[in-house]
Structure 1
Amino acid sequence: MKRSTILFCALILFSATGFKLAAQEDPLNGLVSKLQKISSDYPQEKVHIHTDKPYYVVGDSLWLKGYIVNSEKNELSNLSKILYVDLINDRDSVKKSLRIPAVLGLAWGDMVLTDSLTEGNYRLRAYTNWMRNFGEEYYFDKVIKIGRSMPNQINAAVSYTFSKSGTDEHVKADILYKDHEGNAVSSREVSYSIELNSRVISKGKGVTDQSGRLTIEFTNKQSFLLKSGRISTQIATGDKAFQNKSFIIKSTNAEVDVQFFPESGQLIEGLRGRVAFKAVAPDGLSRSISGVLRDDSGVVIKEFKTEHAGMGTFIFKPSPGRTYTAFVTLEDGSEKSFKLPAAQTSGYNLFVNNEDDANLNVSISVNTGLTAASRVTLIAESNGVIKFVGRNTLSQGNMAASIPKSRFPTGIVRLTLFSEDFQPVAERLVFIRHAPSLEMSITNNKPTYGLREKVDMSIMVQDSAKAPVASAFSLAVINESKIPCDEDDETTILSNLLLSSDLKGYIEKPNYYFSSVSEAKDRHLDLLMMTQGWSRFTWKNTLAGTLPGVVFQPETGISISGTVKTPGGKPVANGKVMMLASKGSGILLDTLTGPDGRFSFDNLNFTDSTRFVIQARNAKDKKHVEIELDRVPPQLVTKSKNSPEIILNVNESILPYLRVRGDEYTELRKLGLVRRNIVLDEVRVSEKKPPVKNSSNLNGAGRADAVITADKLQNCVTLEQCLQGLVAGVIFQNGIAYSTRSMNTPMQIIIDGMYVEPEYLSMLQPFDVESVEVLRTIGNTAIYGMRGGGGVLVINTRRGEPNYSYNNYTPGIITYNPRGYHIARQFYSPKYDSPDTNKSLPDLRTTILWVPNSLSNASGEAQMSYFTSDNPGVYKVVAEGLDGKGGLFRKIFKYTVK
């Protein structure tokens, strides 16, 4: 076929007049207007979180900085004024949650990783209320490892081997128990249970051998249904005492899957095309493979092998009527075969070369059945905005074009080829990488420093033309010798806002593509674009005119609103509503209801400790009304797309830092600077629980972590007073019960099977209570679903005797304890040149400095001064930030302390 080169017309940034075609009925006009409406009416937000450390140990503080940006240009967003940050454990339970005020898209805060946390894989999730309309897969979501280093700690590590017979999958788990000094925990009895998809499939007991090892074997007989789970063990530590250790089961087999992705979306007979492939194991991580492609007659067509992260490509031309199979050799030498997608008899082929620094070179091919006077349209879109349009009538089988990369911002561009009837027929993602628009330089006043010596740091931020730039950034200084990490493993402002936040699904080591950029990494990034295959925006919904369903509005502040009704359910107009903060901020406000009975108190400013009393009266000042508050449902916890990053043995993976923190803990104990009681969060004492009458416990009567009977509920006025200090792991704040396992979520109160607000606890009379069943652990709270996230207090009242009437309430008044703003603590950085500083205390900081709200001035300059600690090593400075035009930067700077 004759090859011709066509010149595509270009559509650049839209304006008020924008791009117009002569024919108003042209479908391109409709597509453009639909995209414009989505972009203007439904602006997308992204969130990035910068943390001070890559991983933590129980007892640390996690310091964080949040950046809320618009997706189109990565400019700071002024749409949402509240950022939510959740810490979620590997059982998908929210352990801590922050509501942080955001100013011009910037927010910062901290979390204390208390003793109630166990070691394991946690998720740091961040989002705005507006983002909840568009899918959780685009929230900021990062796996954070949290280890545990305590004198009484038993450490354990697991390794798995797999085999298969028929459809049954056999698993052997080798578990090694050691004490905190690394000695084998031998001859100890271990009880265990095995869960797959929250279903217990096996239980048993064993004894550790002389090396501290225990082998557990089980079989998954429903591999089509049960995929992953955990092994929960209890190892004896003394008389009637034990410690819990659990181990993630990421899969019950090791079978590698290989998927093949034709560049245009399909193979076309007679057209030479490129096919990308990706090899992934059941744990979600890549594997290296090699292989050959054979046709159905056994002829070898192509040899191939992975180039990076289980990915690779090959080029071939499918012959009419032939089918093709890839014969793959895995890392262990075993072989598997995979059929390629069947080639289509007719279609379009889109071939993109992204190796040119200046242009995207695009080739379009069609086979003979589609060449006759067929008009095609090529659209290039970035972040929901069309940046380029090209159109031509096909009279030959091939055509080519070059699109200047200068038309696109740095990031993902989606090329889509549309047929004559304006249906998408081929699509390709590419990543456009320009030279960094911003660069930060950091210099110290000295090349090396001593212990507790002052560091004067100078910072300069410039654009690509070396002009100074005003910017906002966060900066952390850590002792890298104590906290080693690989830059490829980090979640950075570049990898997140330019890559991960725009692609659905897991990306293995995304920052690999942004650290020490090279031609090889650009090639590997192009492989990712061909195999990831799904972006934030879809043409299907756009062409159909389907607009996003908006349920959650952008938050400009905290509001408390609701409706006042008569006992019969009719709205109360012109009712008087007063709100008083009984504890906390001292807020006192009043308002009137509208014709629909609605009222609202807006732009409130209060912290988590604030408790409100809301009182309503009708227009005649009568109190016989009911108040219904508007309650926004909490964000559900769904499966993390980054679950492949879960580490089986967290403590082992951060062992150098654990040893440092263990030594520090011992030193502080010697100096009397930490409490002397040993934290026993994992330790339980087995005891016979008393019988429970009249129980409404869904687990069954008495199946609880603790049972408090009526004989212990005496000599106190309220039930809260009775239980204070009586229930291990439960504390009371402002009359509300909290489990130490989830200090940000009140425990659910259930009275004789009826769910009531947490505040009801302080209203109960102890003499009316038969028993209280305390549910804190996941095994007991799971049956209550989300309501049991903070734990449950099941209160069973006496029967046949006068009871407390829980349906009685004070008319026209309710109490409310909403989540308020998190107020960030000030990071402590000692000043050793000040006479007020206590210089006798050891300085064992591993995070040397954390400054979340730094600014470079109009001259691009910023200055910082701080002191080194008592620990020598290589100190690592990490800064992340942006300017007012969406330019992003990350800077690493290192120096030595001797």
Structure 2
Amino acid sequence: MQKNHLKALFYLVLFVLTFFQTASAQIINQRAKIIKEYDSIRKVAPREKLYIHFDKTTYLPQDTIWFKGYLVNATLNSYSQLSGLIYTEMINANGEVVETLSLPTALGLTWGAFALKEERYPPGNYIFRAYTNWIMNFGDTYIFKKEIKILSVDAPIPIKVVKGQITTEKKPSTPTTNKSSKSEIDIQFLPESGSWLADLQQKMAFKAIDKAGKGIEVKGEILDSRRNKITSFKSNSRGMGYFTMVPQSTEVYTAVVADNFSFTKVRPKPQLNGTTIQLGNTNKSDSLSITLISTLQNQPLTLVGQARGVLCFIAHINANVQRKTIKVSKNIFPTGVAQIVLMNDKKQVLNERNFFLNFNDQLQVKTSSKVLTYGVRDSIPIQINVTDITGKPVAASFSMVVTDDNQVTKDTLNDENILTYLLMTADLKGEIEKPGYYFNQKNEQTFNDLDALMLTQGWVSYNWNLSKKPIFKAEKEYTISGKVTNIMNKPSTNAKITMLGKNKPTVIMDTLTNQNGEFVFDKLPLLDSSSFIIQALNAKGKTGTLGIEVNTFERPSINIAKKNIDEENEIVDSIAVERIATKNQVYQAALKNGILLREVKITGKKVIRGSKNLNGAGMASQILTEESLAPIYKKTLLQALQEKVKGFREGTRRKSNIRDFFVNSDQAKFIFDGIEIDFFYSPSGSSGNSQEYYDYVKAYLDYYNAEDIRGIEVLSDGYSFKYKSEFMHPMDERMYSFIEITTKTGAGPFLKKSANIYLLKPINYGSNKMFYSPRYTSATKTDKYPDYRSTIYWNPNILTNTTGEAHISFFSADKKGTYTVWLEGTDTEGNLGFSTLKLTIK
């Protein structure tokens, strides 16, 4: 109980250390300023953290990604009361946003799904990204990202039939080795707290990574310039470790890795003057020993301890103190990543030392079943019991997924979960390999590995320039807003704004502008592939000459790093083989039982609805659908053609200096909704203007955005004959490629739109997709159609009652083997919980 009491005081009481009898007024004033600044930062720029729980991370085409979001206050881990709207995105390997879904939250919770339509999501690697508008104030720091892989069902798989059962021929796995060539290993050296002082025994951390960016186990020696051995080093299995030595200012040190004899310079170079922090933190001790070393003259220093943006202690160090050791209780910090910071009298940071504490004070979650072995298509009951660390029942919200271990890899000991992410990973930099390891295996080795992680990847910054105001506002809900101005560009007050939307159901809303000409539509229904027409009438009910500006969504910049995933190929390939083979089993079983006439792969023609294609639906050399244009919806039509149409380019006509557009070597001709734009072209007659026609065409291509287009069809070679006959002079022998563009309005190539009308395609809002979980009865249990689900069960909204209990059930599928039950969640007070269970299906 004492530990709980001290943890509660963490949020209320400041622990202050001083090293003199009476504090001077100047010191007291400086301390007060630091306390005030920490409080101000939490008020002006509070942080949010967002964690996403998925059903799995590897999928097949036509699968659905199921997920639940947990949005918390970064200081308390309780639900965030700041934002009420979360944005989720799927980004392809080219850095294009394929799909965006905005979701409302209640008590920081939300859930949704992405349906992986094959046309929109071809096989490959994707990034799932989630954030709030407020999170964007802090750059990329707290944006949640997860790699998602979509497998190809067309991959060649060795399959054989044994006793009527389809199985896969798996090649024996080759044991992985940690040996790499010289050029494949990169070692980074990081001195404790950031400074390496000469003539001082210090800790030097290091991390070794291979060409794929993964940690790799290494060992070797540190040599001086005369090739004398100073010390040896050895990493853990993730390539991290540390050693101690006394560096000399005149020496240059080299690390020699054993086995491959690679050489790496040890940097930074030792300094003669400076400061450093040495942290004494043992596994069994209840306190921290913090040693400050300084060679600075006439420099008073301030040492602070902080965690989650909250100040835990302040210690003032008098000028000219060369060495000082203090002890502080661990209990003044909460569970998670914390930091010791050394500052000079100008509040400039000189040194930082990160560390991690785990008081095991989170929710105690137990997941159980009556038995652990069931048959196929059996009903499986699951009981959940949740208490706090004192044994008191807790009402909380959880998400649960059950997956087939034959098809989905779940490492219950090492994979990321809600505890590892919100308490550790979110406050570190770079990829954290096997984060669950640091929570599940509590021993001396794990404790030392955790310290090596903090030394090499520790990163915590809750700092904020108080003179700067946050740019991005916290959004409570999804809104459509904008501004109306008159011909003089002045706000139009009391203008009537009507919004008519094509949605399910149809949306009709109206509102009035305020004195600044601003309007807002809120309390919107679920929006799925909707489009709206927004019309403005002035205060007299006339169209007048009003202009409408709609506030568009600004997403964070996208940085996709090209990764070499050689180290993961064996695992990914084995999953692919099993998943694809299982899909084949479904078809084979259905064929055997007469459910399917034959197994075929149907490749349908891409059809553009409303197209005026003279050749007929789907008859074109290249076809771009609305789905394929969705990732670049804000780009112009010209940019879309340049990026998506093969061979599209600008150039000059043959034997002429006239600029034009081409598809490969063919001159391009543009048709909008069946109307060729050349019909409206009137040349000026100036023979020297080689740019005139180009500018005329470009005006159309720049006017439209990709979001205005329903489809693009390129008609070259044989597909161009009907178009040439329709639109070109019969004596014209030149080769053309015709580009048929179908707009969403179908109105043809008319640039002038009514000034008081705005066409809007908003981001999809809300999700009503429900996970289908079959319920077998005695009649349907013998159904011949095979049930080979990889995700057996998904439930994002499990609530424990006041006794801390919840009961759910689901049915097993047809594949024998083992299932992993994965449960995680939180209460409203900032306590997190995680539990797993293994079931056997016979």
TM-score (norm. length: structure 2):
0.78
Structure 1 Cα separation of the partners of residues 420 and 603 of structure 2 = 39
Asked whether 1:51 is paired with 2:54, we answer yes
What's the counterpart of residue 41 of structure 2?
Answer: 38
Indicate if the aligned counterparts of 1:462 and 1:860 stay in contact, CA closer than 8 A: yes
What is the alpha-carbon distance in structure 2 between the residues aligned to residue 52 and residue 462 of structure 1?
A: 25
Letter in 2 for 1:498: L
Spell out, residue by residue over 1:147-171, the C-alpha distance to the aligned partner (whole angstroms, 9 max, x if none): 122xxx2x3xxxxxxxxxxxxxxxx
Candidates 277, 295, 304, aligned match of 1:350: 277
> Does the C-alpha gap of structure 1 residues 666 and 268 become closer, same or farther in structure 2, counting only changes over 3 Å?
same
Letter in 1 for 2:240: M
What does residue range 9-48 of structure 1 map to in structure 2 within 5 Å?
A: 13=10, 15=12, 23=25, 26-48=29-51
Kindly state the Cα deviation for residue 274 of structure 1 after the two structures are TM-superposed: 0.7
- Aligned in 2, Cα 1:365/1:644: closer, same or farther, shift over 3 Å? farther
Other-structure match for 2:137: 133
Residue of structure 2 equivalent to 1:852: 796
Decide which moves more: 337-346 or 660-669: 660-669
Provide closer, same or farther for how the CA distance between residues 560 and 350 of structure 1 changes in structure 2, counting only shifts above 3 A. Answer: same
* Structure 1 or 2: more helix by fraction: 2
- In structure 1, the residue matched to 2:213 is 284
Using a 3 Å threshold, how does the CA distance of structure 1 residues 42 and 679 change in structure 2: closer, same or farther?
farther
**DSSP 3-state at the match of 1:28:** helix
Q: Which residue identity does 1:601 align to in structure 2?
A: F
**Alpha-carbon contact 1:365-1:399 (below 8 Å) kept:** yes
Structure 1 pair 301–396 and aligned structure 2 pair: CA distance change class (3 A): same
- Structure with more of its chain in strand, by fraction: 1
Q: Is the 8 A contact 1:749 1:795 kept in 2?
A: no
Q: Which of 841, 849, 864 is residue 785 of structure 2 equivalent to?
A: 841
Matched with 1:632 is 552
Task: State the SS of the aligned residue for 2:419.
Answer: helix
Structure 1 residue matching 2:523: 3-state secondary structure: strand
Residue 42 of structure 2 aligns to a residue whose secondary structure is helix
In the TM superposition, what whole-angstrom CA distance separates every residue of 1:545-598 from its partner, at most 9, and x where no partner exists?
A: 454x52221222222222222345333222222222244333322222233322
Letter in 2 for 1:387: C
Aligned mate of 2:762, from 787, 797, 818:
818
Name the CA shift for 1:294/1:307 in 2 (closer, same or farther; >3 Å).
same
The one of 374, 385, 390 equivalent to 2:310 is 385
| Correspondence for 2:326 | 401
More divergent stretch after superposition (480-489 vs 446-455): 480-489
What residue identity is the alignment partner of 2:577?
L
* Equivalent residue pairs, number: 730
Paired position in structure 2 for 1:655: 577
Equivalence map 1:414-433=2 (5 Å): 414-419=339-344, 422-433=347-358
Q: How does 1:792-803 map to 2 (within 5 A)?
A: 793=712
Q: Is the 8 A contact 1:748 1:793 kept in 2?
A: no
| Native 8 Å contact 1:556 1:603 kept in 2 | no
Corresponding residue number in structure 2 for 1:892: 836
The reply to whether residue 529 of structure 1 matches residue 454 of structure 2 is yes
Question: Could you tell me which amino acid in structure 1 is paired with residue 112 of structure 2?
Answer: G
Deviation at 1:504, TM superposition (A): 2.8
Alpha-carbon deviations, 1:695-725, whole Å to 9, x = none? Answer: xxxxxxxxxxx9x9xxxx9xx9874999864
- In 1, the alpha carbon distance for the partners of 2:278 and 2:641 equals 63
Correspondences of 1:503-542 after superposition (within 5 Å):
503-538=428-463
Gaps of 5+ in 1: 1-9, 156-178, 184-250, 685-705, 732-736, 756-762, 772-782
1:113-512 alignment to 2 at 5 Å?
A: 113-116=116-119, 117-149=121-153, 153=154, 155=155, 179-181=156-158, 254-319=183-248, 321-329=249-257, 331=259, 333-366=260-293, 369-370=295-296, 375-393=300-318, 397-419=322-344, 422-487=347-412, 490-512=415-437
Q: Does 492-501 or 90-99 show the bigger shift? A: 90-99
Q: Secondary structure at 1:659's aligned position in 2?
A: helix
Work out the CA distance in 1 between the residues paired with 2:504 and 2:622.
25
Give how far 1:680 is off. 5.1
CA contact (8 A) 1:616 1:625 kept: no
Secondary structure of the equivalent of 2:551? coil
**Deviation for aligned residue 1:519:** 2.5
Q: Tell me the distance in 2 between the aligned counterparts of 1:366 and 1:394.
A: 12
Number of the residue aligned with 1:678: 601
Distance 1:412 1:825 in 2: 37
Do the aligned partners of residues 569 and 648 (structure 1) sit closer, same or farther apart at CA in structure 2, a change above 3 Å counting? Answer: farther
- Of 571, 575, 578, which aligns to 2:491? 571
Partner SS for 2:25: coil
- Which stretch has the larger CA shift, 400-409 or 280-289? 280-289
User: CA distance change for structure 1 residues 895 and 460 in 2, over 3 Å: closer, same or farther?
Assistant: same
Whether 2:674 is the aligned partner of 1:766: answer yes
Shift of 1:488: 5.6
Give the drift of 1:472: 0.7
Label 1:67 to 1:469 Cα distance change in 2 as closer, same or farther (>3 A): same
Check whether the contact 2:190–2:206 (CA below 8 A) recurs between aligned residues. yes
Conservation of the 8 A alpha-carbon contact between 1:483 and 1:656: no
Residue type of the alignment partner of 1:302 = T
8 Å Cα contact 2:283-2:447 kept in structure 1: no
User: How many angstroms apart in 2 are the aligned matches of 1:76 and 1:719?
Assistant: 53
Shift in Å, 1:424: 2.7
Alpha-carbon distance in structure 1 between the residues aligned to 2:636 and 2:320? 74
In 2, Cα distance between equivalents of 1:398 and 1:752: 63
What's the CA shift for 1:96? 2.6
Shift of 1:873: 1.3
Q: Residue type matched to 1:490 in 2?
A: D
Cα-to-partner distance string for 1:857-882 (whole Å, 9 max, x where unaligned): 11100001222112221121000111
SS, match of residue 434 in structure 1: coil
TM-score under structure 1 normalisation? 0.73
Structure 2 portions without partners, runs of 5+:
1-6, 18-22, 161-179, 643-670, 680-700, 716-722, 730-746
Q: Secondary structure at the match of 1:529?
A: helix
Mapped contact 2:192–2:278 kept (Cα < 8 A):
yes
SS at the partner of 1:891?
strand
Change (3 A) 1:570 1:459: same
Which digits, 9 at most, give the CA deviation of each residue in 1:785-805, with x for residues without a partner? x9779997489999999x955
* Alpha-carbon shift at residue 608 of structure 1 (Å): 1.7
Residue of structure 2 in register with 1:77 after alignment: 80
**2:146 match: secondary structure:** strand
Q: Deviations over 1:834-889 (max 9, x none)?
A: 86899443222221111101111111000012221122211210001112221112
